[in-house]
Amino acid sequence: MSSEPNETPLLRLQRIMLSLRKECSWDSKQDFASIAPYAIEEAYELVDAIERGDMDDVRNELGDLLFQVIFHACMASEADLFNFDDIATTIADKMERRHPHIFGKHIFDKGAPDNRNNNHEWEDMKQAERAAKSQTGLLDDVPRPLPALTRAVKLQKRAARVGFDWADAAPIFAKLDEEIAELKAEMSATPDPQRIKDELGDVLFVVANLARHLGIEPETALRSTNDKFTRRFQYIESQCDPRAASLEEMESLWQKAKEQEPKT
């Protein structure tokens, strides 16, 4: 389908979406809930393309993600809720409201900006936005569906805005030792799966906090380790049948795979 005269790429995409909703049996049946998982999937595929440094793929994945926005906007327009222009206006208003030092009256005293004042002003604006949505707590609008490690970091960052945080990474190691000891204690006692799960969750939460203080995104770090595990296990598969090999044989091949990887 080609563009119509004087039609921008965005308008063309919106026109295509309207046609799909009217004429495609699959697209016409979708609703907000059924489409939501695809938005998450496309966001992850975009992150993967960025991490691989494949800019052609980044362009393609950004298009896929934009299409999800267009899809939701189309469904909302059909229900007379809002449209794409409303979405764009809302985010534009939000960006201007959150950056008054650029788009309006400077929020700082004359002279160099003070990051502490900046943080306070930012939190004041966020608090006002939460209040408008009947969300008064600092953590109220941290989305529950986020990946657990990502949500943990966001929760910790929010608490840190009001000073509920360690000054640096050093004391977190002691907290991690404490949580691991509590996990071991629960495992040694009469096994209670719920209590063990809670203690393991505490360990992971502290690990996420440590990653935050080290300036490392824990989801990214874990994805890297997942890739590393995959490479090494695939080497094992290339050298033997894991179903027939002993643990000792596989461990030996694992160490060989490890030795063959370039040092970083």
**In this structure, are 241 and 214 located in the same domain?**
yes
Q: How many residues are given for the chain?
A: 264
Q: In terms of Cα–Cα distance, which of 174, 173, 196 is closest to 185?
A: 196
* pTM, 2 dp: 0.65
Mean pLDDT of all residues belonging to the chain: 89
Q: Tell me what pLDDT residue 82 has.
A: 97
Residues 117 and 168 placed together within one structural domain of the fold: no
- Domain co-membership, 251 together with 160: yes
Residues 162 and 112 in one domain: no
pLDDT, tens only, 212-262: 999 999 998 999 999 999 999 999 999 999 999 999 999 999 999 999 988
Residue 3 included in any domain: no
pLDDT-derived band at 105, boundaries 50, 70, 90: low
CA distance 130 to 136: 6
Strand runs labelled E in 143-218 = none
Q: Is residue 227 part of a domain?
A: yes
Q: Is 235 exposed, middle or buried (0-12, 13-18, 19+ CB in 10 A)?
A: middle
Token reading at 162: 């009001």
**What kind and span of H or E run contains 82?**
none
Residue 16 pLDDT exceeds 70: yes
pLDDT for 6 equals 80
Do 128 and 22 lie in one domain? The reply is yes
Q: Is residue 4 part of a domain?
A: no
Tell whether 164 and 128 lie within a shared domain: no
Q: Which of 69, 82, 115, 119 is nearest to 98 (CA)?
A: 119
Both tokens of 181, joined, read 């000891």
Q: Which residues, 6 or more positions from 71, have their beta carbon under 8 angstroms from its beta carbon?
A: 17, 27, 30, 35
- Whether residue 224 contacts residue 48, with contact meaning beta carbons closer than 8 Å, is answered with no
Clarify whether residues 198 and 239 are in a common domain: yes
Look at residue 143 and tell me if it is in a domain.
no
Write out the residue range of the structural domain in which residue 91 sits.
Answer: 9-132
Number of domains in the chain: 2
Of 248, 168, 163, 155, nearest to 208 (Cα)? Answer: 155
Residue 138 belongs to a domain: no
Q: Are 125 and 141 in contact (CB under 8 A)?
A: no
Does residue 93 fall inside a structural domain? yes
Which residue would you say has higher pLDDT here, 47 or 205? 205
Give a yes or no: residue 1 inside a domain: no
Task: Tell me the two tokens of residue 139.
Answer: 């953590």
The CATH code of the domain that includes 20 is 1.10.287.1080
- 184 with 249, same domain: the answer is yes
Q: Which of 108, 132, 156 is the last residue of a domain?
A: 132
Domain presence at residue 98 = yes
Question: Rounded to an integer, what distance in angstroms lies between the CA atom of residue 7 and that of residue 30?
Answer: 27
* CB of 155 closer than 8 Å to CB of 139: yes
Q: Is the pLDDT assigned to residue 3 strictly greater than 90?
A: no
Rounded CA gap, 194 and 190, in Å? 12
In a shared domain, residues 127 and 152? no
Q: Are residues 14 and 122 in the same domain?
A: yes
